[in-house]
C-alpha cells in the first residue's frame, strides 16, 4: 500500500474517507520537486475529459494556459479549448486575480475538487508551475508522447500551496567539449520546466570549442567551432576518435532556443569563458594571446590549457565588448557568465605586456591581474544593462594550491559568484563579504561525476546554505546549480544516464524547503511514479541507483579470481571482458565482485553481463564503484541453462571519465 509522504500532513489536514472519495491512506502525491504544503481534501477529484475547458483571466495568463493544454494533448488526445474569462471553475482556471502576494514571483496555490480546478498565482510563472504540478497529479501515462487509450484522467481532490526555497535553480550544460544539438537542448529545457528549474546556464565556449555565432568575428566559429580530433579514453589517456568534431548554434538557432526557454519561464545565462578556458577563441584570433607564445589550435584533449587572453592588450577590450553586444542582443536575461575559473598564470608570467601593466597599475599578484580584468568587464557589461557572473576564482581567492597570495584588489560587489571549488571558509567568506552566491560545490553537484562519487542521496542531501552560516547572510545564497560537464560525454544516452535521476534530486535541493525534504519519501515517489514519467518520455536514466551495499575486500577472498583490471587496459578500453569458464560449470546464480587493489582512481562500472558464446544471457544494470571504498561492486547473474561446450565471458562497461591509475581483481563465485 502506498503511504502518504511523511511530511505531507504535518499541518492540520482534512482527511476524510467519504463515500465516493479515495480512502486517504491510499493517496499519495508523488510530485517532484515536492511542494511546500499539500492537503488532501474530501471528494472524488476532477476528471479531465475532451470537453474540459482551460480558462484564464488576464492576458498574461494565456501563455501558461496554452502551455498546459499543449502538455496534456499528446497522451490524452484531447485538444482542450483555451478560453478567456468565465467564472469559477467547471474546468481548469488559471488566474492571477485575488492571488496571495505572499506566494511571490514563482509560487502558486492550487485547488482541485470534483467541480473543477483553480490555480491562482501572483505571476504567470506561478501559473506555469501550477500547471506542471497538475501534470504530475494526473496518472504518469500523461507523460507519454503518444495517445493512451482507456485511461481515466483523474486528478485527486487536493489543495496545494507552493513556492520555491531559492530564486536561482540552475542547470548547466557544457556544449563546448562536445556539441549538443538544438533538439537535445530543448529536451533538457523541457526537463528543467517539469522539475521547476529556472536558470539554464549554457556553457558555450571553452578550450575545446566555441559554439555561438558572432557575426562580427566569424572565425570564432569558422575556426573555433571545429577541432581535428577528440580524446576519448578518460583523463590523460592517449585514446582518440580519429575524427574531427564540430558544431555551433547560429543566432537564429539561439533565438529559437531563447523563446523555447522563455515559454517555460527559464532564463538563459550564456557563459563566455575568459580569460582562461578561452583557447578556441585564441585559436581563431591568436592576436589576443600573450605574444611570447606560439599559435595554438583548438584543443582536442581535455583538462585545462595554459592559453589565456592577454589582458594587458587594450585591443582585447573592444573585441570582448563586440562579442558581448551580440550576446546581449540574443539573450534577454540580465546575467552574463564570464567563466573565470582555472586561469593558468604561466603565459602571463612570461609576458612583457603583462609585466609592464602590473608595474603601471601597481599590481603585485596574478590573482590581482584577474580581478583587474574582471572588474573592467563588470563595468563594461553593466553599461550594457547586464550583471557579470563567474566561477569563484573571480573573487581573487585562489583555490588551486598556487603559492601566490590571494588578491589584494576587491572584486566588484555587483558580480555574482558561482562557488564550485575551495574550502567552506572560502564560500562563507564570499557570502559574508556581500556577494550574491550560487552554490555549485563540485563534490556535491557535478553531474559528470560517477554515482560512486555522488550518490543520489548525496545529491539530494546537498544544502546550498553552508553549515553554521548566520541567518542574516542566508539571502546572499541565491540558490544552487547542477552541472553537466561534457568531457567524455559523446552521446545523449550517456548524458541522460549521468543526469537522471540525480537531476530530480537537485530539483528538490533548489525548490523544496528543508522541512519538507525526506530522502526515503523522495525515493518512494521516484520508484512509484516519477521514474515511470521519465520512462514515458524516453529518458535513459541510470537504473537501480538506490542500491546501497558496502563491502570489504576480505569478503571475496574465497572467490575465484577470473582476471584483473590494469592501467594499460584502462588506457585503451571502456568495455572489459574476462573469461568466466573456470567458474561457470552449471546452471545457477553467480556473483562477480570488483576488488580495488591500488591506484589513485576508481573503477566505475555502468553495467555487467554474462555472455554465452558471445550472446548476453544475464545482465545486471547498476552503477558500481571500486576505489578506496567498495560500493555496489557486486554484480549478480542467473544462468538458466548450462551448455558444456560454450564459452562464458563476463563483460562490463566502465564509466568513460574514470581515471586510468587503478588496478584491481575480478572475482567470481556460484552462489551456494
Ligand atoms: C569548473 O568546473 N572548472 C568550474
Q: What is the pLDDT of residue 404?
A: 64
Confidence band of 233 (pLDDT split at 50, 70, 90): confident
Per-residue 3-state assignment (H helix, E strand, C coil) for 483-534: EECCCCCCCHHHHHHHHCCHHHHHHHHHHCCHHHCCHHHHHHHHHHHHHHHH
609-628 pLDDT, tens per residue?
Answer: 999 999 999 999 999 999 98
Mean confidence (pLDDT) of the chain? 93
Residues 559 and 604 in one domain: yes
Residue 326 placed within a domain: yes
Of 162, 195, 210, which marks where a domain is finished?
A: 162
Residues 145 and 176 in one domain: no
Residue 535 placed within a domain: no
Q: What is the pLDDT of residue 232?
A: 83
Beta strands at 205-206 and 209-210: parallel, antiparallel or unpaired: antiparallel
Residue that has been written with the C-alpha cell 514515458 in this structure? 536
Residue 536 placed within a domain: no
How much of the chain, in percent, has pLDDT values that exceed 70? 94
Residue 521 placed within a domain: no
Residue that has been written with the C-alpha cell 583587474 in this structure? 372
Ligand 1 binding pocket mutation candidate from 269, 302, 342, 393 (most atoms within 8 A of CB): 342
Q: What is the pLDDT of residue 239?
A: 81
415 alpha carbon – ligand 1 mean position (Å) = 17
Range 148-170 burial, b when 16+ CB lie within 10 A, else e: beeeebbbbbbbbbbbbbbebbb
Atom of ligand 1 nearest to the CA of 342: 3
Of 109, 139, 162, which marks where a domain is finished?
A: 162
Residues 150 and 199 in one domain: no
Q: What is the pLDDT of residue 402?
A: 55
Confidence (pTM)? 0.94
Say how far residue 463 (Cα) sits from the centre of its chain: 16
Residue 586 placed within a domain: yes
Residues 250 and 309 in one domain: yes
Residue 479 placed within a domain: yes
Confidence band of 301 (pLDDT split at 50, 70, 90): very high
Residues 57 and 77 in one domain: yes
343 alpha carbon – ligand 1 mean position (Å) = 11
Residues 156 and 234 in one domain: no
Atom of ligand 1 nearest to the CA of 339: 4
The dihedrals phi and psi of 613, each to the nearest 5 degrees, come to 45, 45
CATH number of domain containing 64: 3.30.379.10
Residue 544 placed within a domain: no
Domain that holds residue 582: 550-670
CATH number of domain containing 319: 3.20.20.80
Confidence band of 1 (pLDDT split at 50, 70, 90): very low
Residues 62 and 113 in one domain: yes
Given a contact cutoff of 8 angstroms between Cβ atoms, the answer to whether 628 and 616 are in contact is: no
Q: How many domains does the chain have?
A: 3
Given a contact cutoff of 8 angstroms between Cβ atoms, the answer to whether 587 and 655 are in contact is: no
Indicate the length of the chain as a whole number: 672
Residue 538 placed within a domain: no
Instruction: Indicate which residue's Cα is closest to atom 3 of ligand 1.
Output: 341
484 alpha carbon – ligand 1 mean position (Å) = 11
Residues 291 and 430 in one domain: yes
How much of the chain, in percent, has pLDDT values that exceed 90? 85
Q: Is the minimum distance from the CB of 420 to ligand 1 under 6 angstroms?
A: yes
Atom of ligand 1 nearest to the CA of 485: 2
DSSP symbols for 549-602: -EE-GGGGTTSEEEEEE-HHHHHH-SEEEEE-TTT--SSEEEEEEEEEEEESS-
Residues 387 and 246 in one domain: yes
Residues 343 and 430 in one domain: yes
Q: Which of 498, 496, 517, 545 is nearest to 32 (CA)?
A: 517
Residues 402 and 263 in one domain: yes
Residues 430 and 579 in one domain: no
Confidence band of 657 (pLDDT split at 50, 70, 90): low
Q: What is the pLDDT of residue 400?
A: 63
420 alpha carbon – ligand 1 mean position (Å) = 7
Of 511, 536, 569, which marks where a domain is finished?
A: 511
Q: Which residue has the higher pLDDT, 397 or 72?
A: 72
Q: Is the minimum distance from the CB of 419 to ligand 1 under 6 angstroms?
A: no
CATH number of domain containing 616: 2.60.120
Amino acid at each position: 500500500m502506498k503511504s502518504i509522504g511523511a511530511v505531507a500532513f504535518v499541518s492540520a489536514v482534512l482527511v476524510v474517507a467519504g463515500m465516493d472519495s479515495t480512502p486517504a491512506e491510499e493517496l499519495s502525491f508523488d510530485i517532484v520537486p515536492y511542494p511546500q504544503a499539500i492537503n488532501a481534501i474530501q471528494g472524488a477529484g476532477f476528471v479531465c475529459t475532451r470537453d474540459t475547458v482551460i480558462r484564464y483571466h488576464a492576458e498574461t495568463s494565456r501563455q501558461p494556459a496554452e502551455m498546459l493544454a499543449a502538455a496534456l494533448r499528446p497522451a490524452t488526445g484531447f485538444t482542450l479549448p483555451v478560453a478567456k474569462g468565465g467564472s469559477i471553475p467547471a474546468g481548469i482556471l488559471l488566474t492571477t486575480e485575488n492571488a496571495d502576494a505572499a506566494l511571490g514571483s514563482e509560487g502558486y496555490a492550487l485547488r482541485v475538487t470534483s467541480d473543477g480546478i483553480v490555480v491562482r498565482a501572483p505571476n504567470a510563472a506561478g501559473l506555469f508551475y501550477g500547471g506542471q504540478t497538475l501534470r504530475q497529479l494526473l496518472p504518469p501515462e500523461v507523460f507519454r508522447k503518444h495517445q493512451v487509450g482507456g485511461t481515466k484522467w483523474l486528478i485527486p481532490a487536493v489543495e496545494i500551496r507552493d513556492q520555491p526555497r531559492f530564486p536561482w535553480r540552475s542547470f548547466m550544460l557544457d556544449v563546448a567539449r562536445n556539441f549538443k544539438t538544438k533538439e537535445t537542448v530543448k529536451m533538457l529545457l523541457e526537463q528543467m520546466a517539469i522539475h521547476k528549474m529556472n536558470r539554464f546556464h549554457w556553457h558555450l565556449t571553452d578550450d575545446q570549442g566555441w559554439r555561438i555565432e558572432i557575426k562580427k568575428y566569424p572565425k570564432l566559429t569558422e575556426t573555433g567551432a571545429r577541432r581535428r580530433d577528440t580524446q576519448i579514453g578518460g583523463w590523460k589517456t592517449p585514446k582518440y576518435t580519429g575524427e574531427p568534431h564540430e558544431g555551433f548554434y547560429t543566432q537564429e538557432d539561439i533565438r529559437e532556443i531563447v523563446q523555447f526557454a522563455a515559454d517555460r519561464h527559464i532564463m538563459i545565462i550564456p557563459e563566455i569563458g575568459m580569460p582562461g578556458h578561452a583557447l578556441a577563441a585564441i585559436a581563431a584570433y591568436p592576436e589576443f594571446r600573450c605574444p611570447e607564445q606560439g599559435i595554438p589550435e583548438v584543443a582536442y584533449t581535455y583538462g585545462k590549457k595554459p592559453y589565456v587572453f592577454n589582458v594587458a592588450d587594450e585591443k582585447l577590450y573592444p573585441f570582448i565588448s563586440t562579442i558581448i553586444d551580440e550576446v546581449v542582443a540574443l539573450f534577454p536575461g540580465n546575467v552574463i557568465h564570464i567563466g573565470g575559473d582555472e586561469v593558468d598564470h604561466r603565459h602571463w608570467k612570461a609576458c612583457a605586456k603583462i609585466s609592464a601593466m602590473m608595474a603601471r597599475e601597481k599590481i603585485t599578484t596574478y590573482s590581482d591581474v584577474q580581478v583587474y580584468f574582471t572588474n573592467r568587464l563588470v563595468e563594461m557589461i553593466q553599461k550594457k544593462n547586464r550583471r557579470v557572473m563567474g566561477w569563484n576564482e573571480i573573487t581573487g581567492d585562489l583555490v588551486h594550491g598556487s603559492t601566490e597570495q590571494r588578491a589584494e584588489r576587491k572584486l566588484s560587489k555587483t558580480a555574482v559568484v558561482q562557488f564550485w571549488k575551495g574550502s567552506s571558509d572560502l564560500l562563507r567568506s564570499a557570502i559574508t563579504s556581500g556577494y550574491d552566491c550560487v552554490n555549485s560545490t563540485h563534490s556535491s553537484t557535478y553531474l559528470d561525476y560517477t554515482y560512486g562519487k555522488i550518490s543520489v542521496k548525496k545529491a539530494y542531501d546537498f544544502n546550498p546554505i553552508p553549515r553554521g552560516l548566520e541567518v542574516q547572510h542566508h539571502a546572499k545564497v541565491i540558490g544552487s546549480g547542477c552541472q553537466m560537464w561534457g568531457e567524455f560525454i559523446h552521446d545523449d544516452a550517456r548524458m541522460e544516464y549521468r543526469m537522471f535521476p540525480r537531476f530530480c534530486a537537485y530539483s528538490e535541493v533548489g525548490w523544496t524547503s528543508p522541512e519538507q525534504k525526506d530522502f526515503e519519501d523522495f525515493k518512494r515517489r521516484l520508484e512509484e511514479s516519477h521514474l515511470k514519467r521519465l520512462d514515458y518520455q524516453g529518458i535513459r536514466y541510470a537504473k537501480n541507483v538506490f542500491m546501497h551495499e558496502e563491502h570489504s575486500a576480505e569478503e571475496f577472498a574465497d572467490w575465484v579470481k577470473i582476471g584483473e583490471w590494469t592501467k594499460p587496459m584502462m588506457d585503451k578500453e571502456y568495455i572489459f571482458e574476462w573469461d568466466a569458464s573456470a567458474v561457470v560449470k552449471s546452471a545457477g546464480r553467480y556473483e562477480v565482485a570488483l576488488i580495488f587493489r591500488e591506484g589513485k582512481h576508481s573503477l566505475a562500472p555502468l553495467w555487467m553481463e554474462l555472455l554465452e558464446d558471445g550472446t548476453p544471457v544475464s545482465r545486471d544494470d547498476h552503477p558500481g564503484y571500486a576505489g578506496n571504498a567498495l560500493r555496489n561492486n557486486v554484480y549478480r547473474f542467473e544462468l538458466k541453462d548450462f551448455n558444456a561446450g560454450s564459452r562464458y565471458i563476463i563483460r562490463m562497461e566502465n564509466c568513460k571519465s574514470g581515471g586510468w591509475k587503478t588496478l584491481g581483481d575480478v572475482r567470481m563465485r556460484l552462489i551456494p
